[in-house]
Every structure is written in structure tokens, then in C-alpha cells.
A = this chain, B = another copy of it.
């Protein structure tokens, strides 16, 4: 076996620090959203809907990296709380376009501020150029792994 075939020290493995950062972010977001009565998946759903109203359940699931079933229970919860509305019947096909209510937008504004504060704290001390590079590098990494070729 050649040297470098195995993972090596964890602190030097990209996958490890990626998991570490994602875990830390998840925890920080969870703590920031708890006072608002929202979980991370719920916030993700609101944020996505706020930016792109009319998204279907499957669209939201893909956008938040969970299954359709998981997103469905999130949507049902948000619907029961009056933050999201869905038509009783599909306008065309089977897709039910979801939209935020006024209360949904209110919750989203407060939650978005809290999450933004977390993000600001996360990238504290990083130059704008470095933040941009991080963005591009992570996007490239994700694309490398999701390509089917």
C-alpha cells in the first residue's frame, strides 16, 4: 500500500474538519433558533420558501438535503402553526406549491437575523476574499461528489 492511501492524522483530513465545522454550525444554529421556537430543518424550510415562494415539498427536500418524507412532516408542522400555506389541490400535476403566511415571514425575519449572526461569528477573522474562496471551494467539493459521471 502506497503512502497516502489511508486517511492519516484526523486534523489533516479535509473530511474530518468539514464534519467538525458542519457539526459546530449545526449546534450553534440550533442554540440560536431555540429561543424562537424553531428547529434547524424548520428554519431551512422557511428560508428557502421566503426566497423562492411556491416551491413544492420535493423541491424543499432537495434544497435542505433531507428526504421528501422528512420535509413533509416539517411542512405539516409549520402549516399547523400557521406559518405556511398549501393549496388543498394541486394546480397541475401533483406538486403542492407552498408559501409563507404573514406570520411565516415574521418568524423568518427574526430567525434569519439570528442565523446570520451565527454565520458572522463563524467567519470572524476571515477576509472577504478568503470567505469567497471558501464558498467556491466548498461548492466545487460538493459538485465533485454529486457528479454521476
Contacts and interface: CB of A to CB of B under 8 A. Distances in A.
A48 B10 contact: yes
B123 A20 contact: no
Contact of A15 (B4, B51, B122): B122
| Chain copies in the assembled complex | 2
Interface residues of A, number: 56
B138 A123 contact: no
Contacts of A122: 14-15, 141, 144-145
A142 interface: yes
Interface of A: 1, 4-7, 9-15, 17-25, 27-29, 47-48, 51, 63, 65, 109, 112-113, 115-116, 118-119, 121-126, 130-131, 133-135, 137-142, 144-146
